[in-house]
């Protein structure tokens, strides 16, 4: 049975009936609105070339405003459009003037994008990276607070953990960072587009999130938020025509970096990606971020209840304050890798993560798709002898 929101947007996601897509934590499908925007942009290039380049610039400006609204930033000037989450986090990591002995706090279980970039600083600058083991702490925020008492230059965590969907109390960590005088960087890729995200209430200094997961857009374009007071403090490592204040004055003998977040965008804009992400984020905003978040969490609850009814064990934390769009599960009698392979063969798009199989339906995902995927899991257990 579809919710009212799912019914209203059903035509936006006409996935083939043999595709049971439960992998938005990996790569999400594009809505029809986004495909239409890409098609129009491609057709325009085919027939008119760059005649409407100024209109493309207007779409870029519109996207900055949409992303500002999506994360409740104070200004569009705080938004930069970069290639990926990894690039955005690298802008932060290699923009800070590190001193020998500076400490970075993060979680051991972070996705490599939010782990390798900080670990790389150890070799170059002698920075100490403290990786807190989530498995050893019932309240990871308390572990961060405890480590902050020993001092830290920056705390870098994911809003939602990619492997098991653990949602972190960002407001608590943000408050602890402010009290300790530490910078706060958030990898928001598993949160933004799925659940409401308020950059001001959590007190983040930096936020990074690619658009190809819960924001329902193609790979290759990411949101980077940098708090206004910190923009000029990040050392620039990339330069080009697009990041200067007088961007259109090509003959100017002198230049300076843009005052806005554009200072982090060295080269030509990804106009195809901009048109696509604008359409996708526009869809989410039209649906309403609160309504989308409620539907995502309701789908997660339904997945948990349905899996448990079939005898599966839930790996993810089921506490209301910890739930997200990700549900990871396993079966006590069957190897998770074998179960994953069976599900893939049955057309269930999912992932092998966190010691189990990861399902990640979005707000629009119909219940019959979830039911079919769970039936496929049950059938796979039967075939595998569980």
Instruction: From 278, 287, 286, select the one nearest 55 (Cα to Cα).
Output: 278
For every residue of 236-284, which 3-state class applies, written as one string? CCCCCHHHECCCCCCCCCCCCECCCHHHHCCCCCCHHHHHHHHHHHHHH
Give residue 385's pLDDT.
82
Give residue 375's pLDDT.
97
**Cα-based angle 102, 160, 108 (whole degrees, multiple of 5):** 45
Tell me which residue has tokens 């995902």.
Answer: 365
**Cα-based angle 183, 189, 193 (whole degrees, multiple of 5):** 115
Q: Are residues 180 and 118 in the same domain?
A: yes
**SS percent in the chain: helix, strand, coil, step 5:** 45, 15, 40
Q: Are residues 294 and 282 in the same domain?
A: no
Q: Are residues 132 and 83 in the same domain?
A: yes
Residue 248 CA to chain centroid, in angstroms? 32
What token pair was written down for 138? 């019932």
Q: Are residues 161 and 12 in the same domain?
A: no
* Residue that is last in its domain, among 251, 286, 321: 286
CATH of the domain at 375: 3.90.1150.10
Residues of the chain scoring pLDDT < 70: 1-6, 386
Give residue 360's pLDDT.
98
- What domain range includes position 125? 35-286
Instruction: From 175, 358, 123, 152, select the one nearest 132 (Cα to Cα).
Output: 152
Instruction: From 258, 239, 238, select the one nearest 248 (Cα to Cα).
Output: 258
CATH of the domain at 225: 3.40.640.10
Instruction: Give the tens place of pLDDT for each residue, 2-12.
Output: 666 667 777 89
Contact 206, 184 (CB under 8 A): yes
Q: Are residues 57 and 68 in the same domain?
A: yes
Q: Are residues 181 and 87 in the same domain?
A: yes
* Residue that is last in its domain, among 286, 312, 330: 286
Instruction: From 208, 205, 226, 242, select the one nearest 117 (Cα to Cα).
Output: 208
Q: Are residues 270 and 373 in the same domain?
A: no
Distance CA 341, CA 352 (A): 9
What token pair was written down for 350? 């999912």
Q: Are residues 269 and 354 in the same domain?
A: no
């Amino acid at each position: 049975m579809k919710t009212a929101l799912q019914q209203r947007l059903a035509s936006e996601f006409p996935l083939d009936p043999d595709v049971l897509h439960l992998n938005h934590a990996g790569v999400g499908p594009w809505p029809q609105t986004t495909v239409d925007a890409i098609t129009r942009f491609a057709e325009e290039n085919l027939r008119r070339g760059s005649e409407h380049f100024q209109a493309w610039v207007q779409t870029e400006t519109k996207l900055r405003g949409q992303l500002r609204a999506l994360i409740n930033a104070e200004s569009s000037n705080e938004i930069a459009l970069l290639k990926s989450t990894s690039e955005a986090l690298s802008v932060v990591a290699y923009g800070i003037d590190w001193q020998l002995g500076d400490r970075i706090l993060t979680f051991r279980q972070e996705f490599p994008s939010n782990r390798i970039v900080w670990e790389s600083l150890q070799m170059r600058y002698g920075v100490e990276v403290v990786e807190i083991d989530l498995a050893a702490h019932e309240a990871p925020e308390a572990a961060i607070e405890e480590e902050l008492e020993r001092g830290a230059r920056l705390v870098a965590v994911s809003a939602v953990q990619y492997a098991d969907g653990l949602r972190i109390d960002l407001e608590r960590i943000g408050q602890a960072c402010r009290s300790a005088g530490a910078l706060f960087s958030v990898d928001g890729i598993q949160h933004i587009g799925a659940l409401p995200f308020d950059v001001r209430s959590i007190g983040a200094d930096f936020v990074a999130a690619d658009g190809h997961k819960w924001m329902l857009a193609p790979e290759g374009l990411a949101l980077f938020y940098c708090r206004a007071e910190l923009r000029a403090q990040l050392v620039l490592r990339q330069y080009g025509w697009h990041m200067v204040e007088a961007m259109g004055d090509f003959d100017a003998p002198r230049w300076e970096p843009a005052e806005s977040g554009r200072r982090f965008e060295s080269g030509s804009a990804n106009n195809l990606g901009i048109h696509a992400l604008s359409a996708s984020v526009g869809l989410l905003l039209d649906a309403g971020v609160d309504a989308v978040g409620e539907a995502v969490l309701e789908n997660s609850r339904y997945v948990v209840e349905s899996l448990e009814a079939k005898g599966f064990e839930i790996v993810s934390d089921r506490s209301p304050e910890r739930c997200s769009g990700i549900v990871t599960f396993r079966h006590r009698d069957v190897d998770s890798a074998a179960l994953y392979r069976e599900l893939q063969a049955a057309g269930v798009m999912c992932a092998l993560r966190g010691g189990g199989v990861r399902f990640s339906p979005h707000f629009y995902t119909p219940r019959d798709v979830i039911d079919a995927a769970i039936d496929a899991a049950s059938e796979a257990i039967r075939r595998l002898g569980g």
